[in-house]
A = this chain, B = another copy of it.
């Protein structure tokens, strides 16, 4: 996920209110939260990994994005022979890695008398080491693409790329050399890093084979994204977003169980909230922790409360919830600011002043989804209040939930169609149904009808990213449609596995493998946090995924 175009109006609003307050909403608490976050910074587990084979990539229409890596020669053929001018090799590490790449050069014939220069290109998927990056047409910084030019001033020497990389494949191209000597590459390695080092429990023997594979790929995805924060993706953008945190923490709770990482991220986001107490959707760790000022995502702010509640559910860490309760409570004020007398959120105003994300889906109308999510958030936050025994501070919530639920049914639900509609064009989208169902606006029976309706409907706005697919699966399960949930995981995430995924992708549309929100598919992240959640479903609801399950 990537920043929005800055909403200047929104910035101005925050700027004004910050002046109006003239002080920090949280006063002394902020420093406590940042200190907590800092104390919880994990020591990363390092492992030295070596490549498994040499490959070349060939065009192949049946392969993902049209490129296939095939065996070229044994590793020894690289390690024992001269690496001469104009030579290029592609090395396959056999798995996705996040870390620091090194290679060692040794003289072979004559004494090296000049520097040598290489271009190295790192790819998570074969296309990244196959298609030219330039002329670059993408909308994000070209520098995210992992190609680096390095000069080795001496041979022998070991070169380490200082940039942390995310890759499985490395293309090494010799771009300048002295004719007076030959050298060879004698070793290559990657010091991989992660804060997920526990071994998750094995799935039961009766789990569907494809589900086992999906679980493995999901675990690897999560592991790669778990660094000193929950990153969205280790290749890009390599930072903490509330939306990714929520999904990663769910998966983590059922696998690596590094609860301190969740705790750290919750504190960090609180500590870096704006002067008005509103969360900022994404924060950076370096050189000092700081927020992406002005990046306010309404849906992500709401999901912080949900993440906090889920954190408590698995840890019973009442101290943290007590400490962070003021943040959760403050986010409710966003709802009050946009709530209309009729019980609907003022979508047009919210959409002008905030970034409403929900999904990567061009043209998606988000009014109904926002209404559903808001109700869901109110309910989850009320749960949170009960946990810390602060219902008195939010005593109007039950009535508000009721009012907003009624408004949702009255203004956005078409009873005849069994579907929610959004916007003046009455757009029918998965997003709308999903969030209304998660908000319990429909009964289980109605939910089932609704979902069955949209599943069989042509032209409905289907999810654009694994992110919304997660909420779809949850909506299916909540509606008792376990078989449909299983099938969707099997088809959607299983589709990625079948297409060769080592880790799950940021963007996957089975109808268009070249889809990119950034106008250049190689800059997509191919190991992306928000895609890891089959781990959560498979491990939380194991009964759904057994070969001998009940239909």
Flag whether A116 is at the interface (Cβ < 8 A): yes
Whether B141 pairs with A177 at a CB distance below 8 angstroms is: yes
Flag whether A460 is at the interface (Cβ < 8 A): no
CB proximity of A192 to chain B, nearest CB, Å: 18
CB proximity of A160 to chain B, nearest CB, Å: 10
Whether B292 pairs with A111 at a CB distance below 8 angstroms is: yes
Q: In whole angstroms, how far apart are the Cα atoms of A321 and B117 in the complex?
A: 42
Whether B115 pairs with A176 at a CB distance below 8 angstroms is: no
Whether A287 pairs with B177 at a CB distance below 8 angstroms is: no
Q: Which of B3, B148, B177 contacts A180 (CB 8 A)?
A: B3
Flag whether A70 is at the interface (Cβ < 8 A): no
Whether A287 pairs with B157 at a CB distance below 8 angstroms is: yes
0/1 string, A136-173, CB within 8 A of B gives 1:
10011111100011010110110000011000000000
Whether B116 pairs with A141 at a CB distance below 8 angstroms is: yes
Q: Which of B136, B178, B295 contacts A140 (CB 8 A)?
A: B178
Whether B156 pairs with A111 at a CB distance below 8 angstroms is: no
Residues of chain B contacted by A111 (CB below 8 angstroms): 284, 290-295
Flag whether A29 is at the interface (Cβ < 8 A): no
Q: Which of B110, B142, B157, B236 contacts A175 (CB 8 A)?
A: B142
Kindly identify, within residues 88 to 121 of chain A, every residue whose CB is under 8 Å from any CB belonging to chain B. 110-111, 113-117
CB proximity of A546 to chain B, nearest CB, Å: 44
* Chain B residue at minimum C-beta to C-beta distance from A179: B139
Residues of chain B contacted by A116 (CB below 8 angstroms): 141, 143
Residues of chain B contacted by A291 (CB below 8 angstroms): 111
Q: Which of B114, B284, B293, B294 contacts A144 (CB 8 A)?
A: B114
Residues of chain B contacted by A139 (CB below 8 angstroms): 179
Q: Which of B114, B156, B163, B175 contacts A153 (CB 8 A)?
A: B163
CB proximity of A191 to chain B, nearest CB, Å: 17
Q: In whole angstroms, how far apart are the Cα atoms of A6 and B179 in the complex?
A: 11
Chain B CB count within 10 A is highest, among A139, A143, A149, for: A143
Q: Which of B3, B114, B236 contacts A143 (CB 8 A)?
A: B114
Flag whether A543 is at the interface (Cβ < 8 A): no
Residues of chain B contacted by A149 (CB below 8 angstroms): 148-149
Flag whether A23 is at the interface (Cβ < 8 A): no
Flag whether A187 is at the interface (Cβ < 8 A): no
Interface residues on chain A, number (Cβ under 8 Å): 43
Q: Which of B148, B236, B292 contacts A151 (CB 8 A)?
A: B148
Flag whether A383 is at the interface (Cβ < 8 A): no
Flag whether A237 is at the interface (Cβ < 8 A): yes
CB proximity of A12 to chain B, nearest CB, Å: 14
Whether A287 pairs with B156 at a CB distance below 8 angstroms is: yes
Residues of chain B contacted by A136 (CB below 8 angstroms): 176
* Chain B residue at minimum C-beta to C-beta distance from A282: B113
* Chain B residue at minimum C-beta to C-beta distance from A115: B143
Residues of chain B contacted by A28 (CB below 8 angstroms): none
Whether A154 pairs with B287 at a CB distance below 8 angstroms is: yes
Residues of chain B contacted by A293 (CB below 8 angstroms): 110-111
Flag whether A286 is at the interface (Cβ < 8 A): yes
Chain B CB count within 10 A is highest, among A144, A180, A287, A292, for: A180
Kindly identify, within residues 269 to 301 of chain A, every residue whose CB is under 8 Å from any CB belonging to chain B. 284, 286-287, 290-295
Residues of chain B contacted by A287 (CB below 8 angstroms): 154, 156-157
Given contacts A110-B293, A113-B292, A156-B287, contact A180 B6 (CB under 8 A): yes
0/1 string, A228-239, CB within 8 A of B gives 1:
000000001100
CB proximity of A420 to chain B, nearest CB, Å: 34
Q: In whole angstroms, how far apart are the Cα atoms of A535 and B369 in the complex?
A: 81
Q: Which of B6, B148, B286 contacts A154 (CB 8 A)?
A: B286
Q: In whole angstroms, how far apart are the Cα atoms of A114 and B145 in the complex?
A: 11
CB proximity of A137 to chain B, nearest CB, Å: 12
CB proximity of A415 to chain B, nearest CB, Å: 44
Residues of chain B contacted by A292 (CB below 8 angstroms): 111, 113
Residues of chain B contacted by A114 (CB below 8 angstroms): 140-141, 143-144, 236-237
Q: List 22 A-B contacts (CB under 8 A).
A: A2-B113, A3-B113, A6-B110, A6-B180, A110-B293, A111-B292, A111-B293, A111-B294, A113-B292, A115-B144, A116-B141, A136-B176, A141-B176, A141-B177, A142-B176, A143-B175, A143-B176, A148-B151, A153-B163, A153-B164, A154-B284, A157-B286
* Minimum-distance CB pairs A-B, first 9: A142-B176, A114-B141, A115-B143, A117-B143, A141-B178, A143-B176, A149-B149, A111-B292, A154-B286
Q: Which residues of A contact B (CB under 8 A)?
A: 2-3, 6, 110-111, 113-117, 136, 139-144, 148-149, 151, 153-154, 156-157, 163-164, 175-180, 236-237, 284, 286-287, 290-295
